[in-house]
Amino acid sequence: MSIATSPNTQRTPLAERLDLIISPLFALTLSLIGVAVWFYSDLDKTTLSILDPEKLQSQLVETISLGLASSALVILIAVPIGILVTRKGFPRLKSFLVNTLGLGQSLPVYGLIVIFFSWLGAGAFTVLVALATYSLLPVLRNTIVGLEQVDRSVIDAARGMGLTARQILTKIELPLSVVVILAGIRTAVVINVGFAALAFLVGGGGLGVTINSGLVNNRDSAILIGAVMIAVLALAFDFLSALAQKYMKPKGL
């Protein structure tokens, strides 16, 4: 999982290469464990019913959909707010949002799902809102940090050349802060995809259904395979986010 990157820290080429290698290696290792359990364990009818390929495919799609939808919602909310609070006149709002969301993230995702369930009822939408709320902070914080670390002399020079505030934002501030912002988005995506497994708690489906069925029926193989699928899925999205973070970085940074 990615963590917020210090704006003053330059990632070395070796660190970037390792970043693109570690997640696939872990995913491959876990996949081999899952395949070995599936093919070399003595699976009874109950376990085979839990691990029915059609069920797993449906749950996989539900998990991915929830993870991506909640991540998209976070980006649509957090990035514009991060831009807004870094403009002049909003320091108090910035502190309030960061502190409030920090308190919200101190709650477990399970607790947030239960809270939103009491307001919104059962279903995937409740999980989507809970996941988006939980993962707002990394994107908002990194957007703020990324924009605030842009050298003010560069902005002053652009202003002196006659660029408008919007042009400075789109042509200078955002390109120079995109790496830090993407690090926050990467964190949010991995959080949302991983915790989307809890959607089953309020009737939202997902791969958590397989794990829960394994727990209820005392089938360790089903629990392990379900957990492996969720972990591999989160690692896959971490790898894709790392690729985006690498190739969307402006040349020269």
CATH of residue 86's domain is: 1.10.3720.10
Check residues 199 and 10 and name the one with the higher pLDDT: 199
Could you tell me the sign of the dihedral formed by the alpha carbons of 49, 27, 184, 175, in that order?
negative
In a domain, 6, yes or no: no
Write the pLDDT tens digit of every residue in 97-149: 777 777 767 778 888 898 899 998 888 999 999 999 999 989 999 999 999 89
pLDDT band at 96 (very low <50, low <70, confident <90, very high): confident
Task: Flag whether 49 is in a domain.
Answer: no
CA distance 75 to 196: 17
Q: Would you state the pLDDT for residue 183?
A: 92
Q: 0.75 exceeded by the pTM?
A: yes
Residue 2 lies in a domain: no
Q: Long-range contacts made by residues 53-58, C-beta under 8 angstroms, separation at least 24?
A: 55/209, 55/210, 56/207, 56/210, 56/229, 58/205
Per residue in 170-222, pLDDT (tens digit) is 889 999 899 899 999 999 999 999 999 999 989 888 999 999 999 999 999 99
pLDDT of residue 227: 94
Residues 6 or more apart in contact with residue 27 via CB below 8 angstroms: 231, 232, 235, 236, 239
Query: Using the 8-state DSSP alphabet, how is residue 4 labeled?
Result: P
Question: What are the structure tokens assigned to 32, written together?
Answer: 């081999």
Can you tell me the distance from the alpha carbon of 68 to that of 176, in angstroms, rounded to the nearest whole number?
Answer: 25
Count of structural domains, the chain: 1
Distance of alpha carbon 163 from alpha carbon 177, whole angstroms: 18
CA angle 187, 135, 235 (to 5 degrees): 35
**176 domain residue, yes or no:** yes
Residue 1: inside a domain: no
Domain extent for 237: 14-38+63-247
pLDDT for position 32: 95
Is 237 within the bounds of a domain? Answer: yes
Tell me the percentage of the chain whose pLDDT exceeds 90. 51
> What DSSP line would sit under 6-30, residue for residue?
PTTPPPPHHHHHHHHHHHHHHHHHH
- Per-residue pLDDT tens for 50-80? 999 999 999 999 999 999 999 999 999 999 9
Residue 44 lies in a domain: no
52 is a domain residue: no
For residue 7, what pLDDT is reported? 42
Q: Which of 85, 100, 18, 70 is nearest to 187 (CA)?
A: 70
Nearest 5°: phi and psi at 137? -60, -50
